[in-house]
Chain A
Amino acid sequence: MAELAVIVVVLSAAISVAVTGFAAAWAEKHIGSAAVGAMVEKEELFGKGLVLTVIPETIVIFGLTVALVLLFVVLPQVL
């Protein structure tokens, strides 16, 4: 049973990073293209565009945190 639990925990960690990474990339793709579009019209928007573009990176940071907690807090308890 313990082995199965380990597999589940490790897989969960992998999924949480992979999926949130994909989600952040997908969101940034849309925001980034819109930001570039806005910059063409008005160049001063560079700063705001840059910041808006990195906003969804929060998603993957949460994913990474969840993965770290799974690997370093949950996993030792299962083992």
Chain B
Amino acid sequence: MLSNERMIKIALLGTKDLMKDTIDILHSLKIIHIIDFKEQNDTFQIGKPLGEVSKYSEILLSIRSILSSFDIRPENIKETYTKREFTRELEIDVLKTEKEIKSLNEKISKLNSVIIEIGKLKTLSDIEDIGLDKSFLKSFNNIITSKSDLENQKKIYNDKLELLIKEKSSHFLQYEDFLSSEIDKMEAPLRFTTSTNTFLVEGWISENKFNPLQKTIKNKFGDRVHLEKVRYSDQESIPVEFKHPSPVKPFELLLDLFEYPKSREIDPTFAIFITFPLFYGIMLGDIGYGLIIFLSSLLLKKKFKTEGWKMLLGILEYSSLYTIAFGLIDGEFFGFDIFHLLEIEEIFGIHMPIIDRIVDFMPVLILSISIGVLHILLGLILGFINIKKAHGIKEAILEKGSWIILIISFIVIVISSFFSQALIYLGGGLLVISIILLLLGEGFIGLIEIFGIMSNILSYVRLMAIGLSSVGIAIVINSIVMDIVIPKGGVFIPLGYIILIVGHVGNIMLGILASFLHALRLHYVEFFTKFYEGGGIKFKPFGTKY
């Protein structure tokens, strides 16, 4: 689960006359991440695009401008494109439709300006009493009454335009899809190495897809196109393709926002999957808010179908479950003390609420800091593994081991103050060892960094503080409404409910955003700095749309 798809580097060599067929095959397989060739000398050059790319691009541009100006999105269309070839018909269809739209638009805008002018005339209609000629006034009135005819005409044109768009939109989406992949194929040689008569493609492919590809190539071209594995070093930027189970998948977004992991380092997505919703839940911790986030993310998932939105809503959905769980522990429902109001003292013999975090903030504070210590310890351990893999055990002990021992000694000392005094010697011993290692590894500057790690740990206090501020606002809203506004009676009752709704909507927005950002920040700033290098590239196979 912590390791990703293994990539190998391949090279594909063939004669130029087979280039087009090869591109077609690679494009349909969608398994190769092509490495762009950079021209270095005169012997090998980048290839020339195939066919009439510029003509295709021009038509694609027209299609896209129509699609975007009428806000036509692929998710609204159900049919799929079946005809996969460029015909004269397609071109004529696009050009004709474009012309029609243009002429309709022109007519509408002309009518619009005339209507506006007539609208101005209307203000002049009360000039009867200044002694103008009767017939002049009559023709003047005729113009004004003709306004409704013009508006009707405008409506007809508008309907015509709408009908045209409705009729063409599905076709145009299909054209767009087809043309963009076609252009992708035609421009592919720009990424290849070519000589006068041959071409060479270099790329990455996941290990288990190599054999099928070899078979396909062999069947199609025999020996005329040659495929082989190429040796590569660990230092090269190998693209990363995640293979996470579906619940973990949304959390890839958080790495996408930051930086992709390098292929040789540990992929932290799984760790984020465990801790991110936990932090979110601790901070927000309210049954009502959790339910609202859960339901709205389920609803929005139906509406927003793009990859990014789906991931974001997936994260929110999962985090809201933790929010509800911590809401039960804190006994909060839209800021109301739910168990107290319902007069529930205990459930299954457990006193409810388990922690009232407004009154007993100390336990939450201690919990927050303990979570911080453990989270940073986890980060350091991951860092230890990374460095051990890259530079060996000695470096790992000096660079990360010292910090791990330091934090363990801190834990031991704290525990000893509760349980047994003897443990303090163990803690002290570990502390001395860790400081010696620190001096060996990082020198005197390492001692100063102890303060850095202390402030990192203290930063987890926000788990308590953000939650407290969100509850605080909720309680203020509730008490304004319940204790001040509603007791006044009369018109104040509906007003009270308006304040209640507006206040809680605002607080939910703040809560979603603040909890999300701070949970994110704890990962990016406190957690990732302990082990994460980043700067890797995403695996983008040739043939996929992006």
Q: What is the interface of chain A, defined by CB distance below 8 A to chain B?
A: 46-48, 50-51, 54-55, 57-58, 61-62, 64-65, 68, 72-73
Contacts and interface: CB of A to CB of B under 8 A. Distances in A.
A54 B256 CA distance: 19
A55 B461 contact: no
A64 B461 CA distance: 10
* A-B pairs, 4 with minimum CB distance: A47-B257, A61-B465, A61-B462, A54-B517
Contacts of A65: 365, 458, 461, 464-465
B258 interface: yes
Interface string B518-546: 10110011000000000000000000000
5 contacts: A46-B257, A47-B256, A57-B521, A64-B469, A68-B361
Contacts of B362: 72-73
Contacts of A55: 521, 525
A50 B517 contact: yes
A51 B517 contact: yes
Interface residues of B, number: 22
Nearest to B459: A58
Contacts of A51: 257-258, 517, 520-521, 524-525
Interface of B: 256-258, 361-362, 365, 455, 458-459, 461-462, 464-466, 468-469, 517-518, 520-521, 524-525
Contacts of B461: 61-62, 65
A57 B510 CA distance: 14
Chain A interface mostly: helix
A58 B520 CA distance: 13
Nearest to B458: A62
B250 to A, nearest CB: 15
A48 B258 contact: yes
A73 B468 CA distance: 17
B200 to A, nearest CB: 31
B257 A48 contact: yes
B361 A57 contact: no
A64 B464 CA distance: 10
Nearest to A63: B465
A61 B468 CA distance: 11
Contacts of B520: 51
A72 B459 CA distance: 20
Given A62-B458, A65-B365, A47 B258 contact: yes
B82 to A, nearest CB: 35
Question: Which of A57, A61, A64, A73: most chain B CB closer than 10 A?
Answer: A61
A62 B455 CA distance: 10
A54 B521 contact: yes
Given A47-B258, A68-B365, 8 more contacts: A50-B517, A51-B521, A51-B525, A54-B518, A54-B521, A61-B462, A64-B465, A73-B362
Contacts of A68: 361, 365, 468
B527 to A, nearest CB: 12
